[in-house]
Amino acid sequence: MQSFWFGDMDEDGVFKPFEGDIQEFIARIKELSSSGHVVPVDPGVAIDAGMFSDRREYLSALRKVCFAHAEEKIKEHYSQEDLELVQMVRMLDEMDNVINLMTERATEWYLVRKPGFSRKYKNIPAKKMLGQMKRERGTGLGYLAGHIEKLADERTRLMKAISAMAGKLAPNCSELVGGLVAARLISRAGSLKELSGLPSSSIQVIGAESALFTHMRAKTPPPKHGIIFQHRRVHNAPKPVRGKVARVLAGKLAIAAKIDYYTGSFNEEFICEAQERIDRTLYGAEYEKKEAGNKNNSGDAE
């Protein structure tokens, strides 16, 4: 039997048209595709079978089915929760850029009004500086500083929401590197599915693409880490072992991403083993000595 999206033809050449609405036609196409059947487009067969009067009518029906199928695919794609997380991270990055740029411009404006302030403003935190600008009541500068401060508060709330959502969607990655860093990795990869398919070497340098391409083109030293540098265990690690810690962490993240995508559940056993492996890499002989001391103490207690 030969199957088409519009019906079936048996070995004797008898054609049986498929009857149903648009959604049933889409379900049929999916079923044929998943079972390995090729769904050929042959208007001649459909016209000869009497299902369509001419080629124009056939193409009109095929167009409706294809459009409906495309719309359903788009809905399925955007119904994934991790895509919302990607957009939230991108919004956070845009807010950072806007806040930094507006704060810088407001500072330059304030320096015109208060020239004596220019010697010390670089050592003042941005939040305190905005507070000083807000004292310029009745001016455009004071009004603007208040809005920048409100935008910074919204940025903080968005960051907390991102961390919470990342902890829900990628609990193992979030436990390893924190919700915000995990969300940034998912965002740069494109989705949790894409992140789960990346090797550890790629995860290690996500966010350091410019340095990686410079290394490939100009033979400069390769980057040892990208976004994962934001994790405290990497940026607090001594320089001699920083690259090794980043490599081990990236390896564990590659496994964690797969667990998150395919199971969606928190694996405490894996997390404990991963944390132990990272600590062993970070602290080296000190960690081994500590573990030996703990075993001796437990043996004495027994």
Q: pLDDT tens digits, the chain, 302 residues: what are they?
A: 666 667 776 666 666 767 777 787 777 777 777 766 555 566 776 677 667 778 888 888 888 888 888 888 887 767 677 888 999 999 999 999 999 899 888 888 887 877 776 656 666 776 777 777 777 776 788 888 888 889 999 999 999 999 999 999 999 999 999 999 999 999 999 889 999 999 999 999 998 888 878 878 888 888 888 899 988 888 888 888 888 999 999 999 999 999 999 998 999 999 999 999 988 888 875 555 555 555 545 545 44
> Would the CA dihedral through 110, 113, 118, 123 be positive or negative?
negative
Of residues 79, 85, 77, the one with CA closest to residue 186 = 85
The CA-CA-CA angle for residues 266, 270, 271, to 5°, reads 70
Q: Please name which of 196, 180, 203, 222 lies closest in space to residue 96, comparing C-alpha atoms.
A: 180
- What does the pLDDT read at residue 120? 63
- Structure-token pair, residue 271: 């997390």
**Token pair belonging to 94:** 């845009």
- Give the residue from 149, 287, 164, 166 showing the smallest Cα distance to 227: 166
Alpha-carbon torsion angle 110, 115, 118, 120, nearest 10:
-100
Determine the pLDDT at residue 284.
72
**Contact, 72 vs 26, CB < 8 A?**
yes
The two structure tokens encoding residue 79 = 């119904």
Per-residue pLDDT at 156: 93
pLDDT value of position 166? 93
In this predicted structure, what is the pLDDT of residue 216? 82
